[in-house]
Chain A
Amino acid sequence: MTTMEAVWHLLLSGDAELWAIIALSLKVSLTAVALATLIGAPLGAALVLFRFPGRGLLIVISSSLMALPPVVVGLFVYLLLSRAGPLGSFGLLFTPQAMVVAQTILIIPIIIALTREAVEPVYRDYREFLLSVEAGPWMSLKTLLWDARFGVITAVLAGFGRAIAEVGAVIIVGGNIAGLTRVMTTTIALETSKGNLELALALGIILIALAFLVNAAMQAVAQIGRRYQVAR
Chain B
Amino acid sequence: MTRLLMVLMLLAGSAFADPGRLVLASTTSTQNSGLYGHILPIFEEQSGVQVDVVAVGTGQALRIARNGDADLVLVHHRPSEDAFLASGDGFQRFDVMVNDFVLVGPHNDPASVRQALSVEDAMRRISRTASPFVSRGDDSGTHLRETELWASAGLSPQGEWYLDTGSGMGASLNVAASLDAYTLSDRGTWISFGNKGDLEVVFEGGEALLNPYGLILLDPQRFPHLNHKGAIRFAEWITSRDGQAAIASYQKDGIFLFCPVATLDLPERAAGECPARLSEK
- Interface residues of chain A, those whose CB is within 8 Å of chain B, are 27, 31-32, 35, 39, 80, 82-97, 100-101, 104, 175-178, 180-181, 190, 192-197
Residues in B neighbouring A192, C-beta threshold 8 A = 170-171, 174
Verify if B276 is at the interface (C-beta below 8 Å from A). no
Which of these, A39, A100, A104, A193, contacts B170 with CB under 8 Å? A193
How far apart sit A92 and B28, CA to CA, in the bound complex (Å)?
22
Size of chain B's interface in residues, with CB distance under 8 A?
Answer: 41
Verify if B158 is at the interface (C-beta below 8 Å from A). no
Residues in B neighbouring A180, C-beta threshold 8 A = 19, 21, 52
Binds A, one of B9-17, B94-102, B233-241: B9-17
Do A94 and B37 form a contact, CB below 8 Å, given A83-B68, A193-B169, A196-B195? no
Residues in B neighbouring A181, C-beta threshold 8 A = 52
Verify if B168 is at the interface (C-beta below 8 Å from A). yes
Residues in A neighbouring B8, C-beta threshold 8 A = 35, 100-101, 104
Residues in A neighbouring B168, C-beta threshold 8 A = 193
Residues in B neighbouring A31, C-beta threshold 8 A = 12, 15
Residues in B neighbouring A89, C-beta threshold 8 A = 225
Do A97 and B13 form a contact, CB below 8 Å, given A86-B2, A194-B192? yes
Do A82 and B67 form a contact, CB below 8 Å, given A91-B225, A195-B174? yes
Q: Is the CB of B37 within 8 A of A97?
A: no
Nearest CB on A from B63, distance (A): 10
How far apart sit A6 and B66, CA to CA, in the bound complex (Å)?
41
How far apart sit A192 and B168, CA to CA, in the bound complex (Å)?
11
Q: Is the CB of B67 within 8 A of A84?
A: yes
Closest to A103 in B: B12
Q: Is the CB of A35 within 8 A of B169?
A: no
Nearest CB on B from A86, distance (A): 7
How far apart sit A50 and B223, CA to CA, in the bound complex (Å)?
49
Verify if B173 is at the interface (C-beta below 8 Å from A). yes
Q: Is the CB of B54 within 8 A of A87?
A: no
11 contacts between A and B (CB under 8 A): A35-B8, A35-B11, A83-B68, A83-B69, A84-B69, A94-B23, A104-B8, A175-B54, A193-B170, A195-B177, A196-B194
Mark out the residues of chain B between 157 and 196 whose CB falls within 8 Å of any chain A CB in the assembled complex. Answer: 167-171, 173-174, 177, 192-196
Do A197 and B9 form a contact, CB below 8 Å, given A177-B54, A180-B52, A192-B170? no
Which of these, A101, A175, A193, contacts B32 with CB under 8 Å? A193
Sample of 13 further A-B pairs with CB below 8 A, known A101-B9, A175-B54, A193-B167 = A82-B67, A87-B2, A94-B23, A94-B69, A97-B12, A104-B12, A175-B52, A180-B52, A181-B52, A193-B28, A194-B192, A194-B194, A195-B173
Nearest CB on B from A135, distance (A): 27
Residues in A neighbouring B19, C-beta threshold 8 A = 95, 180
Q: Is the CB of A94 within 8 A of B13?
A: no
- Interface residues of chain B, those whose CB is within 8 Å of chain A, are 2, 4-6, 8-9, 11-13, 15-16, 19, 21, 23, 28, 32, 36-37, 52-55, 66-69, 167-171, 173-174, 177, 192-196, 223, 225
Q: Is the CB of A87 within 8 A of B69?
A: no
How far apart sit A120 and B190, CA to CA, in the bound complex (Å)?
57
Q: Is the CB of A95 within 8 A of B16?
A: yes
How far apart sit A58 and B171, CA to CA, in the bound complex (Å)?
40
Nearest CB on A from B110, distance (A): 22
Q: Is the CB of B5 within 8 A of A195?
A: no
Q: Is the CB of A194 within 8 A of B69?
A: no
Residues in B neighbouring A39, C-beta threshold 8 A = 4
Q: Is the CB of A96 within 8 A of B16?
A: yes
Residues in B neighbouring A80, C-beta threshold 8 A = 5
Which of these, A88, A93, A178, contacts B53 with CB under 8 Å? A178
Residues in A neighbouring B66, C-beta threshold 8 A = 84
Residues in A neighbouring B169, C-beta threshold 8 A = 193
Q: Is the CB of B173 within 8 A of A27?
A: no
How far apart sit A96 and B23, CA to CA, in the bound complex (Å)?
14
Q: Is the CB of A83 within 8 A of B67?
A: yes
Q: Is the CB of A94 within 8 A of B52?
A: yes
Nearest CB on A from B74, distance (A): 14
Do A88 and B195 form a contact, CB below 8 Å, given A178-B53, A193-B174? no
Which of these, B12, B28, B173, contacts A100 with CB under 8 Å? B12
Closest to B190 in A: A195
Residue of A31, A85, A89, A193 contacting most chain B CB atoms (<10 Å): A193
Residues in B neighbouring A83, C-beta threshold 8 A = 67-69, 223, 225
Closest to B33 in A: A194
How far apart sit A100 and B195, CA to CA, in the bound complex (Å)?
33
Q: Is the CB of A100 within 8 A of B2?
A: no
Do A197 and B194 form a contact, CB below 8 Å, given A82-B67, A175-B54? yes
How far apart sit A25 and B228, CA to CA, in the bound complex (Å)?
31
Residues in B neighbouring A86, C-beta threshold 8 A = 2
